[in-house]
A = this chain, B = another copy of it.
């Protein structure tokens, strides 16, 4: 089987029309492309506040759930506990949150937002809402609601789907 095809000319001109029609048939591909746009805008929006997506998410969760522990936060944000440590460290060093001692369980910390943390949270939250409203303005209110509902259904479907197949994740 000769692999030399230097004589088969296909004329790969720079003006050639590139098509990703096949990949567009995959919902995951289209979803990823759209999410990259949202993600990039979100990162730009948060940058002036010195926040990244994950640090902002952690700040919001702590502010909304005062006293929560790191393990709970990691679970809620769907990240591993070790990766949360540096995130919490950063927020604590900037005095946006505090790690308080839990009298009933001296292994754990009670996470609390500070006044400065809540102020930053409020500003970042409003900025994000404004940016997202701008990007999503191409969608009607109904389209936007239906899209978000569909996203929630997809996310929720995973648990249902896993239960159905009784995941054997221990071996694979």
Task: Point out residues on A near B: beta carbons under 8 Å.
Answer: 3, 5-6, 8-14, 16, 18-23, 25-42, 44, 53, 57, 60-61, 63-69, 71-72, 75-76, 78, 95, 98, 100-104, 108, 110-112, 125, 128-129, 132, 134-136, 138-139, 143-144, 146-148, 150-158, 160-161, 172
Which residues does chain B contribute within 8 Å of A44, judged by CB atoms? 172
Q: Assess whether A5 is in contact with B112, with CB atoms less than 8 Å apart.
A: yes
Give bound CA distance, A23 to B144, whole Å.
16
**13 intermolecular pairs with C-beta atoms under 8 Å apart:** A18-B61, A18-B68, A19-B65, A22-B63, A25-B129, A26-B128, A27-B136, A32-B35, A37-B158, A44-B172, A134-B161, A138-B153, A139-B150
- Could you tell me if A143 and B132 are in contact, using CB atoms closer than 8 angstroms? no
Residue on B with the closest CB to A77?
A: B20
Kindly name the residue among A78, A103, A125, A155 whose own CB sees the greatest number of chain B CB atoms within 10 A: A155
**Listed residue (A71, A104, A112, A150) with the most chain B CB atoms within 10 angstroms of its CB:** A150
With CB as the reference atom, state the residue of chain B lying closest to A108. Answer: B12
Roughly how many angstroms separate A37 CA and B162 CA in the complex, as a whole number?
A: 11
Bound-state CA distance A129–B128 (Å) is 34
Report how far A118 CA is from B123 CA in the complex, Å.
Answer: 51
Find out whether the CB atom of A23 lies under 8 angstroms from the CB atom of B57.
yes
Kindly report which residue of chain B lies nearest to residue A60, judged by CB atoms. Answer: B22
Least Cβ distance of A42 to chain B in Å? 5
Give every chain B residue within 8 A of A35 (Cβ-Cβ): 28, 31-32, 35
B16-A67 in contact (CB<8A)? yes
Q: Is the CB of A146 within 8 A of B143?
A: yes
